[in-house]
Structure 1
Amino acid sequence: MSTPGPHTLAPDHQPSWRRRRLDPEHSLGLPLTLAATAAFLVLVPFALLALLVLGAWPPLHRLDATITHALHHYALDHPAWVALMRVWTEVFAPMPLRAVALLLVIWLLRRGARRLALWATTTMVVGGLMGPLLKLLVGRDRPELLDPVARAAGYSFPSGHALNATLAAGVLLLVLLPYVGRGVWRVVLWVAAVLLVVVTGLSRVALGVHFASDVLGGWLLGVAVVAATTAAFTSWRAHTGLRRVQPTRDGVAPEVERHPGAA
């Protein structure tokens, strides 16, 4: 009968599930656990907000109404502001942003970065499908104003503009970070991503077609989707032997900038 060698790990000594999840060196260990936890923690406030909207929680309703009416009165007195918000909300609507994301995917495919292109596509598609589905499930009506400055069809929560702006900004940011270095262009890229998300959401409330909580819900859902898909992608990287990255610092695939077929 053969006996286990000195380096053979007996079944009784296999690391526990908990230890594997907290192992910083394991490809599916601590990095994936932290990323998955971050995505979950973003989903918690989104779920809570959705429940408050579904239950028509009076304090939230009053806050939404106050913000909506204040911005509506400002819009009625400032037609130039309305024109600017209309232009912004059309330029950065979901369909144009999806077109930009599609061009990015095509560019990545031409560079041989098939898995990175798949990550970008998955992020946009998953988030893009969740938005309309949640609108139907929640069934919240849009604001009703006596003298509206803009109109929009469909249900209100979450804001599709806010959601898709967050998805597109996250995808573009995490793909392009390796190309801008460590200098001023990195700051410019971050500022552009934040402005895209914030001003697009603001434009929907300023035009009176969404409540503030609709926009907040779109932002939270977008961040959760980007965090979840990024966690899955970075876990795959570690599993295949590629070096670990901090996505918000390095991007999701920094090696693609020098070796296009590496991801």
Structure 2
Amino acid sequence: MQLSSLKTYIHREQKLLIGLALGAALTAGFISLADEMAEGETKAFDTGFLRGLRTPGDLSIPIGPDWLLPAMRDLTALGGVTVLTLVSALAVAFLLTRGRVRQAFYTALATGGGALFGALLKALFARARPEAVPHLVEVNSLSFPSGHSMNSAIIYLTLAVMISRSFEERRTRLFIIGVAALLVLTIGFTRLYLGVHYPTDVLGGWTVGAAWALAMGLVATRLQDRRKMEQPGKDPA
């Protein structure tokens, strides 16, 4: 094995180990959070945080200027099923137009599988919605982990990882993933501001979504390394 090939191999394996360690940390964090939530140890924190986002004396009024509430309602829709499905479909179509058929198929499988996994988690924990403050949007599903936070992390981060794999430039990859991460954080905060999720719901959603996206990214990297998926950079002819 040539020296350059050896260095490339070592660098690749180092990134894999770091990714696996981060994934393990996210998974452990979610399990710990879920355990504390199930035992009721987070109740005081959850309730206090939500009430801190409301006007003292009238918990039906959120803090902040008048324009903030409608803005939060608009932004929270970015984590809804309709928008996420549309974004996923557009991302797959984008990859197909670039001739990246295998990458497009994998992306559809990764995002769809993540959404299904999230739904199973909600059914497993069956946590009721917050009653500490009035809800500022209508909700009718279970609470833990937050579907908007979890699905937006699964979809946006997975798509960011997959689309960034189409580019060779590190700066471009980091920008794409950074924008997705900021969007995910924003959507999670809207669920707290609107009073429809506890902080632990949102944290749980973020950790699961990030772990899923990371796992999908690691698998995609392996597939590209083994020439079983289109390579970063130049599109297929």
Identify the TM-score tier after normalising by the shorter chain: 0.7 to 0.9
Letter in 1 for 2:118: G
Q: 1-side partners of 2:13 and 2:178: how far apart?
A: 32
Residues 162, 197 of structure 1: 8 Å contact kept: yes
1:85-164 matched pairs, under 5 angstroms: 85-145=72-132, 147-164=134-151
User: TM-score normalized by structure 1?
Assistant: 0.74
**Structure 2, unpaired ranges of 5+:** 1-6, 56-60
Q: In the alignment, what sits opposite 1:170?
A: 157
Q: 2-side partners of 1:45 and 1:161: how far apart?
A: 19
Q: In the alignment, what sits opposite 2:232?
A: 254
Q: In the alignment, what sits opposite 1:53?
A: 37
Q: CA RMSD in A?
A: 3.0
Q: In the alignment, what sits opposite 1:204?
A: 191
Indicate the percent of aligned positions where both proteins have the same amino acid. 28
Residues 42, 224 of structure 1: 8 Å contact kept: yes
1:126 Cα deviation from its structure 2 partner: 2.0
Q: In the alignment, what sits opposite 1:67?
A: 49
2:27 to 43, 56, 69: 43
Residues 32, 232 of structure 1: 8 Å contact kept: no
Change (3 A) 1:217 1:200: same
Residue 83 in structure 1 maps to residue 70 in structure 2 = yes
Change (3 A) 1:41 1:78: same
Residues 159, 217 of structure 1: 8 Å contact kept: yes
1:191 Cα deviation from its structure 2 partner: 4.5
1:223 to 201, 206, 210: 210
Residues 72, 190 of structure 2: 8 Å contact kept: yes
1:116 Cα deviation from its structure 2 partner: 1.2
**Count of residues in Structure 1 that have an aligned counterpart in Structure 2:** 225
Change (3 A) 1:139 1:80: same
Letter in 1 for 2:127: R
Residues 72, 208 of structure 1: 8 Å contact kept: no
Residues 72, 207 of structure 1: 8 Å contact kept: no
Change (3 A) 1:95 1:253: farther
1:132 Cα deviation from its structure 2 partner: 1.4
User: TM-score normalized by structure 2?
Assistant: 0.81
Please tell me whether Structure 1 or Structure 2 has the larger radius of gyration of its CA atoms.
1
Q: 1-side partners of 2:13 and 2:158: how far apart?
A: 24
